[in-house]
C-alpha cells in the first residue's frame, strides 16, 4: 500500500472512532470538508506542479484534532500537529515531507494575522482550504448551525473570515480570479 493510502485510512479511522469530546459537526467536517480539501489539493498540486502526495497528506491532516476535541479548545492546534506527526510516521512518510507538512503547511494554513505558508505544499493547502470554504455550502452550513449566536456575531465572523479566505489563503492570483464571483456573492449575502 502506498504511504498516502495508508494515511487516508488512518485519518478515516480516527474520525470514525467518534471520540465523545469532539464537536457535533465532526462527521460533516470529515465528509464535506476534509475530503473536499484533499481533492482540491490534488487538483491544485497537478496544476501547479507540486507533490500530490504531500499536498493530499497536508489536506487530510489539517485541523485533524477535530476528530478528538472541540475546535475552541486552546490546545487544538498543538494537538493537531502532534497527531499529524504520529500519523505521518505511521504511514512511513519521509522526514523531509513530514517537516514541510508539520512545520509549514499545517501551522500556517489559516493565514492568521497575515502570516502565510512559505512552501508550495503550504500554499496548496491554504488555497485548497479556502476553495473548500468558498465553493461548497461551508458558510451556509456554519451560519445555519450557529443558532445560539447573534446576527451580529455571525456578521462579524463572516466579515473576518471571508476576506481572509479570498485574499490571504488563496495563494495563486489566477485561482483568486476564478473564485471572485462566488466571493462577492457570499460577501453580499452575509455582510
Ligand atoms: Fe483550519
Ligand atoms: Fe479547513
Across 16-29, average pLDDT? 91
With a pLDDT cut of 70, the percent of the chain lying above it is 100
**Residues counted in the chain:** 191
How many angstroms is it from 148 CA to the middle of ligand 2? 22
- Compute the distance from residue 149 Cα to the ligand 1 centre, in Å: 21
Mean pLDDT on 20-26? 90
Please tell me the number of the ligand nearest to residue 130's CA. 2
Give the number of the ligand closest to the Cα of residue 109: 1
Name the DSSP class of 65: G
All three cell numbers of 150, joined, read 447573534
What does each C-alpha distance from 189 to 136, 140, 150 come to in angstroms?
A: 15, 10, 16
CB 65 within 8 A of CB 148: no
Does residue 150 register a pLDDT over 90?
Answer: no
Q: Any idea what DSSP says for residue 75?
A: T
Q: Within its chain, how far is the Cα of 151 from the centroid?
A: 25
What pLDDT, on a 0 to 100 scale, did the predictor assign at position 151?
A: 85
Distance, CA 157 to ligand 1 centroid (Å)? Answer: 14
Please indicate whether residue 25 or residue 12 has the higher confidence score (pLDDT): 12
Flag whether pLDDT at 27 surpasses 80: yes
**Do the Cβ atoms of 45 and 56 come closer than 8 Å?**
yes
Mean of pLDDT values over 16-35: 93
pLDDT digits (tens, 9 = 90+) for 156-185: 999 999 999 999 999 999 999 999 999 999
pLDDT at 134: 97
Query: What would the pLDDT profile of 105-145 be if each residue is shown by its tens digit?
Result: 999 999 999 999 999 999 999 999 999 999 999 999 888 88
In the reported structure, the alpha carbon of residue 49 is separated from the centroid of ligand 1 by a whole-number distance in angstroms of 24
Q: How far is the CA of 133 from the centre of ligand 2 (A)?
A: 7
Q: How many CA atoms lie within 13 A of 99 on its CB side?
A: 3
Q: What predicted TM-score, i.e. pTM, was given to this entire model?
A: 0.95
- Predicted confidence (pLDDT) per residue in 40-89, tens digit: 999 999 999 999 999 999 999 999 999 999 999 999 999 999 999 999 99
Burial of 7 (0-12, 13-18, 19+ CB in 10 A): buried
Ligand index nearest the alpha carbon of residue 71 = 1
CB atoms under 10 Å from CB of 103, counted, come to: 15
Quote the ligand 1 centre to 156 CA distance (angstroms).
18
pLDDT at residue number 106: 98
Rounded to the nearest angstrom, the distance between the alpha carbon of 62 and the centre of ligand 1 is 6
Say yes or no to pLDDT of 147 above 80.
Answer: no
Amino acid at each position: 500500500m502506498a504511504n498516502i493510502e495508508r494515511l487516508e485510512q488512518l485519518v478515516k479511522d480516527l474520525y470514525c472512532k467518534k471520540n465523545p469530546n469532539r464537536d457535533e459537526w465532526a462527521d460533516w467536517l470529515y465528509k464535506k470538508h476534509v475530503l473536499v480539501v484533499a481533492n482540491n489539493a490534488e487538483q491544485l498540486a497537478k496544476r501547479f506542479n507540486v507533490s500530490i502526495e504531500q499536498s493530499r497528506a497536508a489536506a487530510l491532516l489539517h485541523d485533524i484534532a477535530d476528530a478528538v476535541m472541540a475546535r475552541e479548545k486552546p490546545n487544538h492546534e498543538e494537538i493537531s500537529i502532534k497527531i499529524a506527526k504520529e500519523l505521518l510516521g505511521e504511514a512511513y512518510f519521509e522526514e523531509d515531507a513530514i517537516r514541510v507538512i508539520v512545520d509549514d503547511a499545517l501551522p500556517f494554513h489559516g493565514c492568521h494575522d497575515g502570516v502565510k505558508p512559505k512552501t508550495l505544499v503550504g500554499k496548496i493547502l491554504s488555497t485548497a482550504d479556502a476553495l473548500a470554504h468558498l465553493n461548497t455550502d461551508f458558510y451556509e452550513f456554519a451560519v445555519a448551525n450557529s443558532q445560539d449566536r447573534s446576527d451580529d456575531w455571525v456578521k462579524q465572523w463572516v466579515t473576518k473570515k471571508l476576506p481572509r479566505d479570498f485574499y490571504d489563503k488563496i495563494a495563486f492570483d489566477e485561482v483568486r480570479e476564478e473564485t471572485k464571483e462566488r466571493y462577492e456573492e457570499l460577501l453580499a449575502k452575509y455582510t
